[in-house]
C-alpha cells in the first residue's frame, strides 16, 4: 500500500519514532530500527476522536436529519481506487450491501464519495436497498459512526475509529494497515465478494455489545 511504503521510508529517515502501540514498536524493531529511537506513546487518535465526538454532540444531530435510530443502521464508506475503479470489485461490494439490507431489514447508509459516484455511473451499476447520501463533514460522520450498528469500510482510519468507539467493523479489503483491530476482534476482513461481506456481517450479529477483548490502541 502506498501509505505503508511512505511510512517505512519516513521511519528510516527519522531520529525519533513515537509508536502508538507495542505491536507497532515490534514492527519497527523487525525493520531494523534501533530500540533507543522508539517510544511507545499511545494513540493520539483516541484523544482526538473523543474530543471531537464530545464537541459534535453539542452542536449537531445527523441521526434526526436522516431519520435514523441509534444502533439501528449500517454505515458504509468505500472509495479506494483499488475498489471503486474495478467494476467487478465495486459490483461485489454493492451486491454485498444489498444482501445486508435485505437480511437485516435495517438502513444501509452510504455517504458516497464523488469518485465512487462517478465510477458507479460509469459502470452503470444499479442498486436497491442502499441509502446513498452526500459526503458528510467530519463531526457529522463521527456521530453516525459512533451510533451505527456496524460499519463497513475500505478506510484505514475508519477501521481505527470504529475500534476505539467499540463499533463492529467489516473491512472491504483483503488486508489492513490496522492489524490491532483484527487481533482484538473489532474488525474482520471480508474482501469484495458479496457473500463474504454478508457472512462476516452476520458473524457479528450475536456479538454482545462492547465485547471486544481489549482496547485497540
Provide the annotated active-site residues. 79
Distance from CA of residue 98 to its chain's centroid?
A: 19
Query: CA nearest 207: which of 175, 171, 167?
Result: 167
Q: How many CB atoms lie within 10 A of CB 44?
A: 11
8-state DSSP, 208: P
- Fill in the DSSP letter of residue 72: S
> Which DSSP string do the residues of 99-138 spell out, in sequence order?
HHHHHH-S-EEEE--HHHHHHHHHHT---SSEEEE----H
Instruction: Give the β-pairing of 150-153 and 108-111.
Output: unpaired
Query: CA 165, CA 48: separation in Å to the nearest integer?
Result: 12
35 DSSP assignment: G
Q: Could you tell me whether strands 169-171 and 130-133 are parallel, antiparallel, or unpaired per DSSP bridges?
A: unpaired
| Residues 157, 177 contacting (CB under 8 angstroms) | no
Q: Tell me the three state secondary structure of residue 138.
A: helix
Amino acid at each position: 500500500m502506498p501509505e505503508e511504503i511512505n511510512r517505512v521510508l519516513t521511519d528510516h529517515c527519522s531520529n525519533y519514532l513515537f509508536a502508538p502501540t507495542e505491536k507497532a514498536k515490534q514492527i519497527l524493531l523487525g525493520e531494523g530500527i534501533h530500540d533507543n529511537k522508539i517510544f511507545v506513546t499511545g494513540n493520539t487518535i483516541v484523544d482526538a476522536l473523543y474530543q471531537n465526538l464530545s464537541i459534535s454532540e453539542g452542536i449537531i444531530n445527523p441521526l434526526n436529519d436522516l431519520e435514523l435510530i441509534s444502533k439501528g443502521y449500517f454505515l458504509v464508506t468505500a472509495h479506494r481506487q483499488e475498489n471503486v475503479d474495478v467494476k467487478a470489485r465495486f459490483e461485489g461490494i454493492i451486491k454485498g450491501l444489498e444482501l445486508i439490507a435485505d437480511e437485516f431489514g435495517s438502513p444501509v447508509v452510504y455517504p458516497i464519495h464523488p469518485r465512487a459516484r462517478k465510477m458507479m455511473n460509469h459502470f452503470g451499476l444499479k442498486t436497491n436497498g442502499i441509502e446513498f447520501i452526500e459526503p458528510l463533514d467530519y463531526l457529522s460522520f463521527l456521530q453516525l459512526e459512533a451510533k451505527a450498528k456496524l460499519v463497513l469500510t475500505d478506510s484505514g482510519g475508519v477501521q481505527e475509529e470504529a475500534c476505539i468507539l467499540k463499533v463492529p467493523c467489516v473491512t472491504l479489503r483483503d488486508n489492513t494497515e490496522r492489524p490491532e483491530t483484527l487481533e482484538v476482534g473489532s474488525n474482520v476482513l471480508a474482501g469484495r465478494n458479496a457473500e463474504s461481506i454478508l457472512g462476516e456481517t452476520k458473524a457479528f450479529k450475536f456479538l454482545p455489545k462492547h465485547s471486544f477483548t481489549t482496547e485497540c490502541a
